[in-house]
Amino acid sequence: MADINVNTVNKYFGDVHVIKDISLDIKSQSFTVLVGPSGCGKSTMLRMIAGLEDINSGTISIDGQVVNDLPPKQRNIAMVFQSYALYPHMTVFDNMAFGLKLEKRSKDEINERVNEAARILQIEDYLLRKPKQLSGGQRQRVAIGRAITRKPKVFLFDEPLSNLDAALRVQMRVELAKLHNELDATMIYVTHDQTEAMTLADDIVVLDTGIVSQKGSPLELYDKPNNMFVGGFIGSPKMNFMPSKILSKSADSTEVDLMGMSKISVPKLSASSSEGDAVTLGIRPEHLVVNGDADGSWESKVFVVEKLGDVTYLYLEKDGEPLVAETEGHSEIKVGDSVKVGFPAGRCQLFDSSNQAFK
């Protein structure tokens, strides 16, 4: 059991305010992913929880105990680094046993725990090798193994998969998810890759320039982004954004202009907006209906076609603004064709001029 509470934490690097009044509650045994573009403070946040970075104000508590002044070893955490950070002069076994030896565990217990971790991670055959004799994926397993052996209450992962090639990354991602089920520990995971975030997380925390942009389950973030940043960050390819303006408001919907060609009634409201306000209309490529009927539609020429097998992405353009639409894998549409894209009103998002979403 290890809830983590971060309470109005601030962090400055010199004059740079990197973490701004962040508060977070991370539930025991959950898998929480901190995600955001580089420089958003996600790694700093993780390092503060680990105790590798001091905090300027606020409190961090693990399991109800304030840990601001505790060194990392007393926080009952383990961390996996992006660069693996294995001890190059030690064998895999010694790398994994190092923490246990420092805890003065008995030889039998060390053996048992290291072998157990090696079994889980399938690195039993490499226990006597040095890190330089291992491939990238094996090294990353050792780094994870080093964390597992100590049986910490909290696992911290700092972009652990970003040094691996694409195929290995997918495989390790699945194994991490499996590991989380097996270990029942609280895991906090930092990544800039929204796919990793979506697939692994119970809860995603989207960070943007030192503040929490939104926290929620992957689908919450996908379906109901709080603002344009989250809308654009979650999902691949990115959500399409089009400038628009409010034509009229009713009790349960807002009617907006659609590309200056038609209009659409989106079932979203915002009290602070009024008729004539400029808004941004957002819709994901996979929700656009190509050559089909929907609540609003628009026609355009296709500039680029990307065939991925299972789906095809069509790149359309309107006044220099690109728009991506998804259609079926074996689409007959070619470059230069004119297509009609339908906008289902229920899938549209509206963002006001300060980029906040309509509810």
Interacting residues with other proteins (CB under 8 A): 50, 52, 71-73, 77-79, 81-89, 98-99, 102-103, 130-134, 136, 139, 146, 150, 163
Q: How far is the CB of 64 from other proteins (least distance, A)?
A: 21
The residue (of 13 and 303) whose beta carbon lies closer to other proteins is 13
Q: Phi and psi at residue 15, in whole multiples of 5°?
A: -90, -5
Between 88 and 309, name the residue whose CB sits nearer to other proteins.
Answer: 88
Of 80, 47, 96, 49, which Cα lies nearest the Cα of 160?
80
Instruction: Please state the closest distance from residue 123 (CB atom) to other proteins, in A.
Output: 14
3-state secondary structure of 35: strand
Least separation in angstroms between residue 65's CB and other proteins is 17
Of the pair 132, 334, the CB lying nearest other proteins is at: 132
If you search the block for the tokens 């390790």, which residue do you land on?
Answer: 172
Q: Give the residue with the Cβ less far from other proteins, 39 or 72.
A: 72
Distance in Å, CB of 50 to other proteins, minimum: 6
Closest separation between CB of residue 349 and other proteins, Å?
Answer: 39
- Alpha-helical segments (H) within 184-270: 194-200, 218-223, 228-233
Coil, strand or helix at 266: strand
Q: Report in angstroms how near the CB of residue 90 gets to other proteins at its nearest.
A: 8
> Would you say 71 or 276 has its CB closer to other proteins?
71
Long-range contacts, stretch 115-121, CB < 8 angstroms, 24+ apart: 116/149, 117/145, 117/148, 117/149, 118/92, 118/145, 120/145, 120/148, 120/179, 120/182, 121/145, 121/148, 121/175
Nearer residue to other proteins within complex by CB, 78 or 185: 78
C-alpha–C-alpha distance, residues 90 and 98, integer Å: 9
Q: Where do we find the tokens 């697939």?
A: 199
CA geometry: angle at 77 spanning 55 and 209, to 5°? 40
- Within its chain, how far is the Cα of 275 from the centroid? 35
Name residue, tokens 């408001």: 249
- Torsion on CA atoms 25, 30, 31, 34, rounded to nearest 10: 0
Q: Which two tokens stand for residue 184?
A: 């029942």
**Smallest distance from other proteins to CB 189, Å:** 16
**Judged by CB, which is closer to other proteins: 87, or 303?**
87
Least distance in angstroms from the C-beta of 214 to other proteins: 29
Q: What is the DSSP string of 131-200?
A: GGGS-HHHHHHHHHHHHHHT--SEEEEESTTTTS-HHHHHHHHHHHHHHHHHH--EEEEEES-HHHHHHH
